[in-house]
Amino acid sequence: DAGITQSPRHKVTETGTPVTLRCHQTENHRYMYWYRQDPGHGLRLIHYSYGVKDTDKGEVSDGYSVSRSKTEDFLLTLESATSSQTSVYFCAIAQGTDTQYFGPGTRLTVL
């Protein structure tokens, strides 16, 4: 399995608080992605990174920001969490345009 970890694995927070999720890889892959998975919607891309300090928005980026200061770490921040951001968040990595490898996911609940 590709070396991808996500932290925390579970988090419960309150509306209006900032939350940061971390994705860490040991594969030295160039591309990193944040997705959210919700019933009936499948996986939707939030943000992605194509290199250190190079990031761009996905299809559901409102309310989220990202940072990538090192190849191995990709952080997702919910600036002010809302109940609509309750979801399972997955990080993925890829080298080039081939297989994406996924992390184990973070289950976030916003009360």
In this chain, which of 15, 83, 84, 99 binds another protein, going by CB under 8 A? Answer: 99
Distance in Å, CB of 104 to another protein, minimum: 5
Amino acid at 73: D
Question: What region does 38 belong to: left with phi over 0, alpha with psi -120 to 50, or beta?
Answer: beta
Is there a contact between 93 and 34 (Cβ–Cβ < 8 Å)? no
Is there a contact between 77 and 64 (Cβ–Cβ < 8 Å)? yes
Question: Within positions 71 to 90, which residues make up the interface with another protein, using CB under 8 A?
Answer: 90
Binding letters toward another protein, positions 23-62, x by CB under 8 A: ----------x------xxxxxx--x-x-----x-x----
* Binding-site ranges for another protein (CB under 8 A): 33, 40-45, 48, 50, 56, 58, 90, 92, 97-105
